Structure 1
């Protein structure tokens, strides 16, 4: 152990922070000065400031060689910052990353497992073909590493390598190592290997047989499920969803093993577990324990309602899909989904969708309870929320389908339409839907028609297309209830060309039905407008059909049959999924498909490789590109430069008593390529013979490429120590 005074001196040296000298080049010059300081803590602070500027979106790529000098350190935090800098500019300046290849290879063999992980992770993210060629040895060693933390990182790097260069990944044979990682003793390695294989299968289904691998390892998945982290459990549960059980016994075994995760605190784990259970419920024979499973599913969904609003929204979207398959699953949990005063609007709207579907149509007490709740919602101040509540009232009345109950719903809507003009559209649509469910109730028809007839200018009061369409249908269906029917129809016909398609079709149908009660010129006018002044094919076809019917010999009898026809009774106004779509959505719970209700199983997401990979470049050309990039950035004022003096840039490149910056960079490229200067000269001659324009481009890039590899200067020992 060194003497106490030496230890104190070393401690003070590492702890001193020296403010960099303020240069004329602005903040960029200050950062460069701090990065080459003799004090370790000052250099570390300069790296942090560089990362700060980088995260703000400022280009600090010209500091690449100065930041790179600080990569050889035992400080894990500092090395992590430098790696973060390198990863960021691997996207925008991939040619600069060839400076650190040898460092990556060295750090991949470091005794510290954290450094080994950072090295292989960063190396797999650099999108340069020539650098990826050096990843074979480090990746194979880390895949077989003694530390499970290193192995779980390495298996993810295989998927990154496959995304960057599929041919190289197959050629190196690391896919076989990835498949063998499924038999690893560490649960995290198994989960990461499964995630990597899933990503590879999405990019190229022919690369690996994912279904076969899951089928051969599903028992291992079940055994390690309880020992995994939350993310790993989600990965394994998603993989189990892809597995088809052979019989009911195996399906029952899977359900029993994963049911315990319904009580997990993470909502994503709960939804993934529900997906696995629903997948295997169809294979289980109807038994008494089905009721127990349903109760556990119900309890798990109720627990999701105690999560933050953002998670509640996702949970409600998934519950909406599940209720389509099992409508009686949450019938007894109606109060849980009642809207709270502090719920955001998007949660309120989704809860209303769930409430109407939860209610039991045979339970009058429950329907009355929800009716009172929805009536309270119509008194809120959010227009979109009130509009959705009005539609829910009509949906509830039609779902219960009993005239006395529908009369109560209609009374609420009539009162609301009379007092709140802003909601006339929604009330008009809802009341017409209720009348189509009870077409023989004279009292209800009279009350609705009386209210709608009291509106002086319905074509101006109503704004939405569906509301105007229902209003016109009501006048055509019950013309005796509208004393001022002729003037109202004439006003709609006058604005026919300005109306939307649904309203145009309803106007046409109403005028044809009432042609005996209206002026003869009105029918001629509407047929001409519908065939000449509209771009809607359906409206034109309907007008042509009516015109031909009217021109036939027995037109009066035919039109009378058309006019006396009654629309079908509405049995349900709730949106439903088709059976095919429903089955696909049940297998895609807790994904983006469950939010948009659009399955993506038939259209697998295509992973396009990023176009920033530098392909077809020779190593010498990459060197010249890197030096040209640094030289160009060194002459530019990037950060807060308020001085236009060009002498500082020239002094920076020339250096008073110091070696040239480009000469210092030359040694950074010597990372063990094994080729001599003579061989490089021959390669350059061959390249110039094969592609003269490429050689011309290299010679014009500002780099020295005339006589082989430049030699390193004597003042680059600080850079040589890095390698």
Structure 2
């Protein structure tokens, strides 16, 4: 391929030289030949062959036929492609382009000016400002449009050149007086991207834009409407005038224009409650029209906004509930969103009809839809308690014979009993008929165990059902093990004779569990029981108040923040944009106060890490991060107590061995308490600190900033988690330009590459090296002061290092004195 390309390159060079020296350069045959060879050059460019060596021949050949527009277009494309890589040769084209900027043909003037601004060569900016300023005054709108966008291109190369020439002030004037709507729209775009959005806050700018909005393109209309949404009207009368002028935009064929108008109307009337309600009524029909179109992507976006509005004002949308019934041919993501809207709009009047429709979906062949329908019925039962038949339908799902439906129904019944304890009597009969073997999902098992623990006195077989599940204690998930432990203790207080052996077996298994949460809870219950039955019952089995809300429900405050960003991705993601949009780049970390070296051989802090790269695309603290090490707590050894610490026997309880562990574990007589303590495992005495993480690190790792940057881009994510910061750690983060925190980390082999930030957000970049290994571990830690949280991302050459290092890093955070 390469020799062939070089041979054809020589043929093209010869052809260009022949055509450039042709005496009759303006003849149709010669111009057609030039077009053919230029097309061949452009074709080679598009497949990646470097044609820059033909720069001079192309220029000479094209200049000889300067009046041909097609040749000029291809010449401009050639120049723009190779300008940045050949700045010296590009300088030779400045005169040609500048001359063409004064051509009689406005198309040539515009094309030349556009090409001139696309050169992207910083040392040529001094040649650009004069043609741009001439273009802004050009009589033809095409040239003015091109000149306006050229201002933005130059601004990105050298903002000072634009500011010194007062070009942005010229754009403000053009936006107010130019007769071409696209020129005005381009001016708006440039001013917004240049950070001059305050230019649209005056009445003298907003009112003319609104009055001529029909002249703009659809994209420009969205820009105008977005700009007007930041305008503060002088009074209610002006609000009504703006809405009357823009009312016909609600019937526009473009969905973006309709949504931008809806956002404007809602924001203009947010301080006028009565008018705001009328606006909500007015926008229902346009939104339903958009939702009914065949484009499911548009329908999903509209439904997401419908959900937000329905959650804020459910009564206004409750009568239109049939609009949100699912159709058979709709994709699953549309059906899922419709079910959420049905839950939001359900009230005492329509709940029966909505639940009847949802019950049909439970029998659908789509398992995901069936699951979501059961959840929807459960949520309606929580929100609309007084409607008869809803709870009966929910309980009826327990007998469908489908394991996944039964599992979802058990979870919803558990939540119903937590919210409305008075409904327990109606639910117990149905739940008691379930066999543990019918439940395969951890959430359903945990919910079933919770019901047995809280209402076991009314379920005859509750202790024996728990015994069957406790036999598989070690094989269950951590959530199920915790539920079994609590249920066994609670039921013991209600039915001691039947639960004595059950409780002993569960406590023995829990205190020997490798999961820290299960182990600690088992140990706590064991000590409470030996401290006294009354005290233990007051702590473990105290009557629980009915829950007013669940943690999974989105708060009204968060919905209000999302509403402020109406008609944006914040509504789709149901979270403020700060949680998924990286913050704007700030000053490089090297410009911030540098830390003292943490070790004699470590790289200096703030060593030139490039914040414009993927390394510094930090997520905000409000982002919901998954703690990948939920079950990675260091295993507490089972068997004998920790070396050097004797395990004291538990206090003797009145009446002998309270739990009967001596019989269960094969102990005898009066030694039952000590035998039980030994069998249950270590830790019955004073709490011992968790064992140190097993990963050993080199004491003073060295890594160049450039190497850190390259590795960060290439390495996979090995672990990611959030961790609460103790007060001492948070104070160390803020103290002495972060030196205390960084030196504490360095003492454990975790060197600091860079640190910076200001309240309430700090950022740290660390690196470490396992002892005796060539692998590297890189860390990004973002500390949020308001929540006292650290969001940590760990990358490593070997992903297996992620979990051990995460445990070590947590220990480093928690042990700072």
The answer to whether structure 1 residue 173 and structure 2 residue 169 are counterparts is no
Question: 1:567 and 1:57 mapped to 2: Cα distance?
Answer: 70
The alignment partner of 1:328 has SS state of helix
TM-score norm. by structure 2 comes to: 0.62
Matched with 2:380 is 396
Per the TM alignment, residue 525 of structure 1 is displaced from its structure 2 partner at its CA by: 6.1
Q: In structure 2, what is the Cα distance between the partners aligned to 1:377 and 1:70?
A: 71
Find the counterpart in structure 2 of residue 671 from structure 1.
Answer: none
Instruction: Map residues 41-440 of structure 1 onto 2, 5 A cutoff.
Output: 41-45=32-36, 47-48=38-39, 51=42, 54-55=45-46, 72=63, 73-89=66-82, 97-98=90-91, 100-186=93-179, 187-201=181-195, 208=196, 210=198, 213-214=201-202, 216-284=204-272, 286=274, 293-307=279-293, 308-359=295-346, 361-363=347-349, 366-402=350-386, 404-416=388-400, 418=401, 420-440=402-422
- Report the equivalent of 2:546: 568
The answer to which of 427-436 and 237-246 deviates more is 427-436
> Counterpart of 1:193 in 2: which secondary structure?
helix
Structure 2: runs of 5 or more not aligned: 20-29, 587-609, 614-817
Aligned to 2:773: none
- Alpha-carbon distance in structure 1 between the residues aligned to 2:109 and 2:319: 55
Distance 1:194 1:499 in 2: 60
Distance 1:37 1:377, change over 3 A: farther
TM-score, structure 1 normalization: 0.69
Higher relative contact order (CA 8 A, sep 6+): 1
CA distance, structure 1, for counterparts of residue 551 and residue 324 of structure 2 = 21
TM-fit CA distance, 1:193: 1.3
Contact 1:406 1:434 in 2 (8 A): no
Q: C-alpha separation between the residues in 1 aligned to 2:116 and 2:297? A: 36
Greater displacement, 556-565 / 181-190: 556-565
Aligned-partner Cα distance in 2 for 1:46–1:564: 89
1:550 is aligned, of 520, 529, 535, to 529
Unaligned runs of 5+ in 1: 1-21, 202-207, 613-723
Residues 501, 536 of structure 1: 8 Å contact kept: no
Given the superposition, is the C-alpha separation of residues 575 and 611 from structure 1 closer, same or farther in structure 2, using an over 3 Å criterion?
A: closer
Alpha-carbon spacing, 1:188–1:316, altered in 2? closer, same or farther (3 Å) = same
Deviations for 1:333-373, whole angstroms, at most 9, x for unmatched residues? 222222222222222222222222233x121xx32332232
Distance 1:48 1:497 in 2: 73
Alpha-carbon deviation of 1:265? 0.7
Match of 1:468 among 427, 430, 445: 445
What is the distance in 2 between the residues matched to 1:29 and 1:382? 64
More strand by share: 2
Deviation at 1:154, TM superposition (A): 2.1
Give me the whole-angstrom Cα distance separating, in 1, the residues matched to 2:68 and 2:612. 34
Task: Check whether the contact 2:569–2:577 (CA below 8 A) recurs between aligned residues.
Answer: no
Instruction: Decide which moves more: 544-553 or 586-595.
Output: 544-553
CA offset digits 1:523-546 (Å, max 9, x no partner): 466557656745566x66655654
Distance 1:53 1:552, change over 3 A: farther
Deviations 1:585-606 (A, max 9, x none): 2232222222212223697853
Report deviation, 1:491.
5.9
Residues 411 and 506 from structure 1, CA distance in 2 versus in 1: closer, same or farther, beyond 3 angstroms? closer
Separation (CA, whole Å) in 2 of partners of 1:534 and 1:139: 71
Quote how far apart the aligned CAs of 1:502 are: 3.7
How far does residue 423 in structure 1 lie from its aligned partner after superposition? Answer: 3.8
Contact 2:200 2:227 in 1 (8 A): no
Preserved CA contact (<8 Å) 2:233 2:239? yes
8 A Cα contact 1:264 1:270, kept in partner: yes
Task: Give the Cα separation in 2 of the matches to 1:388 and 1:32.
Answer: 68
The answer as to whether partners of 1:179 and 1:193 remain within 8 angstroms in 2 is yes
Secondary structure (helix, strand or coil) at the match of 2:120 reads: coil
Q: Taking structure 1 as reference, are residues 98 and 456 closer, same or farther at Cα in structure 2, changes over 3 Å only?
A: same
What is the CA–CA distance in structure 2 between the aligned matches of 1:92 and 1:415, rounded to whole Å? 72
